[in-house]
Amino acid sequence: MEIEPGRLKLFEAGNILHEFIIQVFKSEKNIDKIKFLESELPFKLDQKEFIISGRLDDIVIAKEDNKKIIVEVKTVRDVRFSIKPNKNHVMQLQFYMHATGIRDGIILYIDRTNLKTKAFEISYDEKHSLDILKRFKALHELLKNNVLPIDEAKQSKETLWMCNMCEYRAKCDRNEK
Between strands 68-76 and 51-62, the pairing is antiparallel
Q: How far is CA 35 from CA 52, 66, 93, 109, in A?
A: 28, 9, 20, 20
Counting residues that bind ligand SF4 (by CB under 6 A) gives 10
Q: Which residues contact 91 (CB under 8 A, 6 or more apart)?
A: 128, 132
Among 34, 172, 176, 177, binds ligand SF4 (CB under 6 A): 172
Exposed / middle / buried, residue 100 (Cβ in 10 Å: 0-12, 13-18, 19+): middle
Using the rule CB under 6 A, give the single segment among 40-48, 92-100, 112-120, 165-173 that binds ligand SF4.
165-173
Q: Does 154 bind ligand SF4 (CB under 6 A)?
A: yes
Residue 6 or 101: which CB sits closer to ligand SF4? 6
Q: Please, what is the minimum distance in Å from the beta carbon of residue 139 to ligand SF4? A: 12
Among 99, 103, 166, 176, binds ligand SF4 (CB under 6 A): 166
Q: Which residues bind ligand SF4 (CB under 6 A)?
A: 151-154, 162-163, 166, 168-169, 172
